[in-house]
Structure 1
Amino acid sequence: MILKWLENNEIGGGPLRLTGADKVKRKEDFLDPKIIDNYLFTLYGRSIYNDKPVYIISFAPKDSTSVKAKYKGEITIDEKSKAIIRYQYQLTSLAKKKLNQKFGTQLKTPLLVEKETKKAFITRTTSLTDYKVFVSFSNYKNKWYLKRIKAINEYQNTGDLFENYTATTESELIVTTVKTENIDYFSVKEQFDSTFSNALFNHNLSYSPDFWKNYSTLVPTGIVGKALEDLGTKISLEKQFQEKK
């Protein structure tokens, strides 16, 4: 079980990954003016949502043989304000096959296991096999604010040592209070360089040689190991980091 936990450490989470999936806020994919023409939007009908009349619009790629448009889903629009108040989307079957998002992990095999398996390293690959997102908004003082966003990811893990398996992760952010006055904003210095779907620890820090001397890491092998060797051919990586302080 420890090995399974270790090789799954790259499956991330956190609020930024969730809010990064809000296509309304970011005007991305099926709401991006640059690629919206790759989607076909169809008025599915009218309905009632939270005691209000709404329009239900479905969308899917115009060209089922291309991944220029990779999502399909449904959008709920408030009939009175014409605001998007709820939507959901997921990868199309073609996008799941073509995009083939995956990452690999290689670990040094524990000594006892290495003697039995004759493998010096354990290699495992995690592939994203499905991705679904559900988003809804609530009305506060005649403006619509994010109410809930939920993401469901399905992964398939394959590789050495133990059986292949499928894992499903669910993450959800629920907003319970909207505050529009006396707001404390982050200063520019406190903002991260990238705030799209990243983990909170992804920000610049000064180089600390003492930290790295005591930092345990896996021995780089394969393509990664060769790349590190090439980078340190003329000047050691240690010296390169020191010069950039």
Structure 2
Amino acid sequence: MKAFSLTLLFLLCATVTILNAAALQQKNDSTYYLLRGRVLGEDTREPLVYAGVSVINSNISTITNQDGYFSIKVPESAKNSQLIIRHLGYRNKVIPVITLIDRLNDYIMMQPSSILLEEVEVVSGDGGPLVREALLRIPDNYPDVPNMMIAFYRESIKKRNTYISLVEAVVDIYKASYRSFENDQARIYMGRKATDISPRDTILLKFQGGLTDALLLDIAKNPEVVFGKEGEEYLFTIENIVSFNDKPNYVISFLPRPGIEDILFRGKIYLDAKSLAFTRMEFNMNVENRKDAANIFIKKKPLKMKVDMNYAKYIVDYIEKDDKWYFNHSRTDVAFKVNWSNRFFGLFAPMYTISSEIAITDRYTDDVVKFPRNERIRSTDVIAEKVEDFQNSDFWGEYNVIEPDEEISTAIKKLSGKLRRRQQ
């Protein structure tokens, strides 16, 4: 099986150096509207996390954050268009764009959706045949030609409860056909970072592969990352049926077969009941209480450093348009404790949490070309060393971003002194 991991490189250091590079200039000054809102479930009054928000009849989209908030920038030409909001288990919500202009943080309530059983074949028990059929249908359910995507990418490193590094970037993605063995490509268009790693810290974290691994989470494009050849190492169980995009979806849980000692995955798969397209996956790597798990993530560390994995969690979402499903969002959260063998037997070992998230904010099929080799992001690249430093918020212009949750917003304010725009 092709092993999936986020590679973290530990290096001893005493200081942190911030790159002295020139910021890219904004290329597009077109007029746009900034729309904001908070999406809640009408039944629970709780925020709906990672709900898809898009402009109907366009490829402009974003997602809600962990507090249910979203912000989306739409061009003036879309003033009379409509937003559509989608979330698992809820009816689609359609809102005229014009009603959100100049009205910040409106509460948007979504109604839970019930599934009429006669709409779908009622099945239960072994979900293996459905998953294997879904794998066979990937070439039909996903684009058979390459397309270009614009995405917002964020990665962070937290020590205990404090953010010590934040990176944000607008990236271009060459998304290869799902009928080919071509790899996806990505390049950075613009970016910014902030770090607050104290000289007293004994390690500097370099996060390798965050952007390329975020694209690897496209399970429809890279099914072998989780399932191997045909998922023969897993047990699949059909749990129930939920609504997504106003259509029934099978919910299938999976976990490694008994007796398999390899570090694999467990989680839930959501399949569109009609097409059997993968619409969402939520899964964990079973690293808990595994002393060998750290070797998957940590490629280099000092001899006296001990690393214990706490968890590794993954999410991937898709969006449908014209009977094809497109990669739309993925998120990774990896947590581990770091202890030095001569320090209090781990009593005060700090917990580090590394998170990466990518959301597709636009997509087009004209002028689809591969990127020059020297512009491509490689799996060994450290994105924090590739972005530029700046402070001017207007730099992002019309580009859509993921709304920061409250905790990250606090960190951004705290680290704002570390953000500065550079001019040549």
TM-score category (smaller protein): 0.5 to 0.7
Post-superposition Cα deviations, 1:61-114, rounded to whole Å, max 9, x if no partner, equal 112x423361101000011221001001102256744433345544xxxxxxxx
Count matched residues. 180
| Alpha-carbon offset, residue 24 of structure 1 | 2.7
- Measure the CA separation in 2 of the matches of 1:95 and 1:185: 43
Alpha-carbon distance change, 16 to 95 in structure 1, aligned in 2, over 3 angstroms: farther
- Measure the CA separation in 2 of the matches of 1:143 and 1:149: 18
SS in 2 for 1:168: strand
Higher deviation after alignment, 150-159 or 46-55: 46-55
Tell whether the 8 Å contact from 1:38 to 1:68 is kept in structure 2 after alignment.
no
- Measure the CA separation in 2 of the matches of 1:97 and 1:66: 16
Give 1:1-245 correspondences, 5 Å limit: 1-4=198-201, 7-12=203-208, 14-33=210-229, 36-63=231-258, 65-68=259-262, 70-92=264-286, 96-101=290-295, 102=298, 105-106=301-302, 123-159=304-340, 163-187=348-372, 189-190=373-374, 195=378, 197-199=379-381
TM-score, normalised relative to structure 2: 0.38
Tell whether the 8 Å contact from 1:133 to 1:150 is kept in structure 2 after alignment.
yes
Tell whether the 8 Å contact from 2:254 to 2:268 is kept in structure 1 after alignment.
yes
Pair member with larger Rg? 1
- Measure the CA separation in 1 of the matches of 2:224 and 2:365: 25
Unaligned runs of 5+ in 1: 107-121, 202-245
2:125 is matched with which residue? none
Unaligned runs of 5+ in 2: 1-197, 384-424
Identical aligned residues as a percent:
22
Task: List structure 1 runs of 4+ shifted beyond 3 angstroms.
Answer: 10-14, 93-98, 102-106, 122-128, 160-163, 189-192
- Measure the CA separation in 1 of the matches of 2:382 and 2:353: 22
- Measure the CA separation in 2 of the matches of 1:99 and 1:124: 15
| Alpha-carbon offset, residue 8 of structure 1 | 3.5
Alpha-carbon distance change, 40 to 69 in structure 1, aligned in 2, over 3 angstroms: farther
> Is the strand fraction higher in 1 or 2?
2
TM-score, normalised relative to structure 1: 0.63
SS in 2 for 1:15: helix
Alpha-carbon distance change, 90 to 96 in structure 1, aligned in 2, over 3 angstroms: farther
> Is the helix fraction higher in 1 or 2?
1
